[in-house]
Amino acid sequence: MSEGDLKRKLEGGEESPAKIQKVEEHAGFSLNVNLALMKATEIKGFREVLDLPPSALQGIAEHSDADLKKLHINTVRELGEYKFYKLAKAVVTLAEKEETGGRPAISQMNINHGVDKEYETKSLKEIAAAPVLGLQGIGEVGAATLAGFGINTVADLAAWKFAHWAESLVALAEFENPDFSSR
């Protein structure tokens, strides 16, 4: 949406005069994440977006919010901080650095609190290829819900674009300055 289109939309009564003034004051900014957000959320700040339901992300239908609630994901922030996504992402990231047969016999490394018993002795590569049900605590309902989003393996979960987007929005929100001043 161009600056002129936004200003016309705001002047159409959808936003306050103060918001219109902000548009004029910050016309030189070009940062946006429009291709990740639904149209109605494109003018919101990162922090405000984090408190919206996941369907604020482009590609997640409103009816999917109910499905995501089964995973205890009610907001964009909760999607970005979803513990099973973070675990899956860490497994997949470090699986690339795993040396086949290279574990010292006395190594203390384990992720036993993150995977079911049958996967405790597996390599990170094997865990990445495992079904999401191999993650400790995800359960049948969680696995079925994720399957509805095309996520069947730990690697699929690690690559979930909506979780990536949400995680990035959480990170960028930390650096957002609502009054646009420089530090």
Q: How far is CA 128 from the centre of its chain?
A: 19
3-class secondary-structure state, position 57: strand
Look over the chain and give the mean of its residue pLDDT values, rounded to a whole number. 91
pLDDT for residue 93: 98
Which pLDDT score is estimated for 2?
Answer: 55
Over residues 110-120, the pLDDT tens digits come to 999 999 999 99
Res 69: pLDDT: 98
Residue 14's pLDDT is what? 58
| Residue 68 CA: distances (Å) to CA of 78, 103, 137, 146 | 10, 37, 16, 9
What CA–CA distance (Å, rounded) separates 161 from 18? Answer: 35
Which of residues 84 and 14 earns the better pLDDT score?
84
The predicted pLDDT at position 21 comes to: 62
Structure tokens at 12: 């159409």
Identify the residue with better confidence: 8 or 50: 50
Measured between alpha carbons, how far is 112 from 118 in angstroms, rounded to an integer?
10
What CA–CA distances, in Å, run from 86 to 45, 61, 93, 163, 177?
Answer: 24, 23, 10, 9, 26
22 versus 156: which is more confidently predicted? 156
SS (H, E, C) 115-168: ECHHHCCCCHHHHHHCEHHHECCCHHHHHHHHHCCCCCEHHHHHCCHHHHHHHH
Q: Is 37 helix (H, G, I), strand (E, B) or coil?
A: strand
Q: What is the C-alpha separation between 12 and 18, in angstroms, rounded?
A: 14
Instruction: Over range 100-129, report the average pLDDT.
Output: 96
Greatest distance between any 2 Cα atoms in the chain: 69
Q: Judge whether residue 121 has pLDDT over 80.
A: yes
Q: Are 68 and 54 in contact (CB under 8 A)?
A: yes
